[in-house]
Each structure stands twice: as C-alpha cells, then as structure tokens.
Amino acid sequence: MKKEIGKFYAIAFNNNYFEFIVYDDNTMSCPTLGIKSFKTIELKPRFVLKGIGEENNSYIYDAKSNEPDSSHPELIGNYTISEELFSLMKENKMIKYSTDMAYLYGFTDKDGYDNNKYGVGSPYKRAKKKGPILTKQKKGQFN
C-alpha cells in the first residue's frame, strides 16, 4: 500500500488552491481535480499532469479568460513546495520545469530542463529587457 510522503500546492492568481499529494511509489494525486494517480507534473502557469491511469493519459490545466488586457486570474501564480519534497520529486523525475519557470516561481533550483551543458537556460523568453516581462508574468499577464 502506498504511503503519503508530502503535499504541495499550486495557487492561482485568483487564490484558488490545487492540492497535490506525493506518494512513496513515485506517483501523485490531485484531490482538487479528482485525479487519483499520475506520474509527472510540469510546473508552469497551465500545469500539465502526465501518466494518468493505466492508459498514461495527460491533463492540461486550462485557464480561460475573457478579459481584454490578457490577464488570466485562473493561471498559476505560485507553487508552494518544500525544498526537501522538491528535491525528492526532481530526483525521481516527478516534476519538470523550464528555466523560465524556475525564475518566475522563484525555485531555488534554477536547473530547468532547457538548461544546456554550460548551465545557461533561457529565462524570460530570451528577451533583452527581462524585468518588464517578469513583472507582467508575476501579475498573470502572459503572451
């Protein structure tokens, strides 16, 4: 029988919380969405869950918006994961994130999947003026 080893949360800009439970068999569940078992989560504003069920289906969190200023209050504005759980999940290939997302969400580990062998990723979409882009993204305004 699998045992719970930790929990983390995805928090949308509108303060909706998504709870994720991590188990010792390297699977997770999301009671908030009613998803009982999946293997990997890609951490981004529209998170992606992979390896759902025996068919290994995927789920992409959809945040719709009708606002003209391109603000999406349903998008994920923050992830709260303890450093210990984060490291364990990364070691077991349970989480994925790009370098952009590491900077956007303030992860201590900035080594996203798009880092090259020199440790240089592409934070902030390779823009020359990164500050304004990050400020907009932190408010939920994405391209």
pLDDT one-digit tens code per residue, 5-15: 999 999 998 89
Cα 45 from Cα 133, distance rounded (Å) = 14
Cα 26 from Cα 31, distance rounded (Å) = 17
pLDDT band at 20 (very low <50, low <70, confident <90, very high): very high
Among candidate residues 36, 39, 35, 17, the one with its CA nearest the CA of residue 27: 39
Cα 30 from Cα 41, distance rounded (Å) = 11
Beta bridge partners of 115: none
pLDDT one-digit tens code per residue, 112-137: 887 655 454 454 455 555 556 666 66
pTM of the model: 0.79
pLDDT one-digit tens code per residue, 59-102: 999 876 555 455 667 889 999 999 999 999 999 999 999 888 88
Among candidate residues 83, 85, 61, the one with its CA nearest the CA of residue 72: 61
